[in-house]
Amino acid sequence: MKATHAVVVGTAVALLAGAFTLPTASAATGSGGPGPVKKGSSARTLGELGDRAGVRIGTAVDMSALAADAPYRAVAATEFSAVTPENVMKWEAVEPTRGTYDWAPADQLVDFARANGQQVRGHTLVWHSQLPSWLTEGDFSAAELRDILHRHITDEVGHFKGKIWQWDVVNEAFNDDGTMRDSIWLQKLGPGYIADAFRWAHQADPKAKLYINDYNVEGVNAKSTALLALVAELKKQHVPVDGVGVQGHLDVTYDAPHDIAANLQRFDDLGLETAITEADVRIPLPVDSTKTEAQAEAYSVLLQGCLLTEHCTDFTVWGFSDKYSWVPGVFKGEGSANLMDENLRTKAAYTALSQDLKLAAGRR
């Protein structure tokens, strides 16, 4: 794959948040060797193209990479118009010990975003995973657990009040068959924990857009239909839910969700926003050109689904560099899921997204 990506080095350095060491020009260009190449003067970043197409283009950010890897930081600063903390706003990260908060890494990302004119998706308040052990092993009563959840949401949303564009309030509440996931929250609090979580988050930051987020809900299926029924009921009860996040973790060996626009439209019809929140497309290794093309198509199907849906607000990728992807650690023998390889060379998928955004310019 020919490298087509480049960081506009001057801009990247000028825009970087002060908390970090600035990349040198040679580190950021990698001229002559691996790494991003210079963009022609007419080339635009995905974020810029997204602005013209009426959609923000975001990425999940790995805070260790952001601190240690200057070329990564330069791309994160310039290529995207929104960021999501990949891990540092999760409960185990912000409150590893009961009552003691560590906001520092998440605050750093919020500062980085502000310095670079980016919006922040807060991720995530209520989830069954990445919970601190004091919570999972605490053997709390239902009343205690409800108070703990209320306080967590109030404190975290309150801490970031005014700085978060969209919160993933509830994450992955369903099983693939459309039944509710048997999490600690469902077990102890019953299904009402979802409405409570939205109400508490809204009280803590009335301006943040509040989302429910899940995977395997790209197309019309049992899970997305159950999610639809839930948000319809929440709306009926005037629970402050604003949007539905479709994660978009795909695999080139699955069918791309060609009915995504029809699915998103169902939520749009209820008066809800939608977003693609965690897009990546993994490949069974080794990579070859057929798989790379299939990957580009799958990314494009996701973005086009968003572009075809009036109130789809953003398309966020779950990281952009293969160097920091979660995929190889979880799916044995798979990888290469991101828009750029380990040396930040762009793939066909990057070109496909640019093209889709160019075609959509001025149409939304």
| Residue number with CB closer to ligand 9MR (251 or 356) | 251
Which residue has 């970043």 as its token pair?
45
Instruction: Output the residue with the shortest Cβ distance to ligand 9MR.
Output: 326
- CA atoms of 40 and 1, how far apart (whole Å): 18
| Residue number with CB closer to ligand 9MR (171 or 354) | 171
Residue 167's identity, in one-letter code, is W
Site for ligand 9MR in 21-80 (CB under 6 A): none
Number of residues that bind ligand 9MR (CB under 6 A): 9
Active-site residue among 278, 293, 334, 342?
278
| Pairing mode of beta strands 273-284, 334-335 | antiparallel
What is the x/- site pattern for ligand 9MR, positions 82-101, by CB under 6 A? ----xx--------------
In the Cβ-directed half-sphere of 93, how many Cα atoms lie within 13 Å?
20
Site for ligand 9MR in 220-279 (CB under 6 A): 247, 278
**Does residue 172 carry a catalytic annotation?**
yes
Question: Is position 4 an interface residue for ligand 9MR (rule: CB under 6 A)?
Answer: no
| Residue number with CB closer to ligand 9MR (129 or 253) | 129
- CA atoms of 261 and 244, how far apart (whole Å): 13
Choice from 26, 97, 129, 136 touching ligand 9MR (CB under 6 A): 129
- CA atoms of 230 and 81, how far apart (whole Å): 30
What is the x/- site pattern for ligand 9MR, positions 187-216, by CB under 6 A? ----------------------------x-
**Are 157 and 206 contacting, i.e. CB atoms less than 8 angstroms apart?**
no
Is the Cα torsion angle 61, 8, 12, 7 positive or negative in sign?
positive
* Long-range CB contact pairs, 108-112, < 8 A, 24+: 108/17, 108/19, 108/63, 108/66, 109/61, 109/63, 109/66, 109/83, 109/85, 110/160, 110/163, 111/17, 111/19, 112/16, 112/17, 112/19, 112/20, 112/61, 112/66, 112/76, 112/77, 112/83
Report residue 227 as tokens: 């999610």
Output the smallest distance, CB 122 to ligand 9MR, in A.
12
Report residue 294 as tokens: 């299939």
| Residue number with CB closer to ligand 9MR (86 or 322) | 86
Output the smallest distance, CB 237 to ligand 9MR, in A.
26
Output the smallest distance, CB 171 to ligand 9MR, in A.
6
Site for ligand 9MR in 312-331 (CB under 6 A): 326
Question: Is position 130 an interface residue for ligand 9MR (rule: CB under 6 A)?
Answer: yes
| Residue number with CB closer to ligand 9MR (6 or 94) | 94
Per the document, the length of the chain is 364
| Residue number with CB closer to ligand 9MR (153 or 357) | 153
**Does residue 86 carry a catalytic annotation?**
no
Active-site residue among 86, 156, 172, 218?
172
Task: Report how far apart, in Å, the C-alpha atoms of 116 and of each of 77, 145, 170, 229 are.
Answer: 6, 38, 27, 38
Task: Report how far apart, in Å, the C-alpha atoms of 232 and of each of 192, 237, 276 are.
Answer: 14, 9, 20
Question: Is position 156 an interface residue for ligand 9MR (rule: CB under 6 A)?
Answer: no
| Residues tagged active-site | 172, 278
Residues binding ligand 9MR (CB under 6 A): 86-87, 129-130, 171, 215, 247, 278, 326
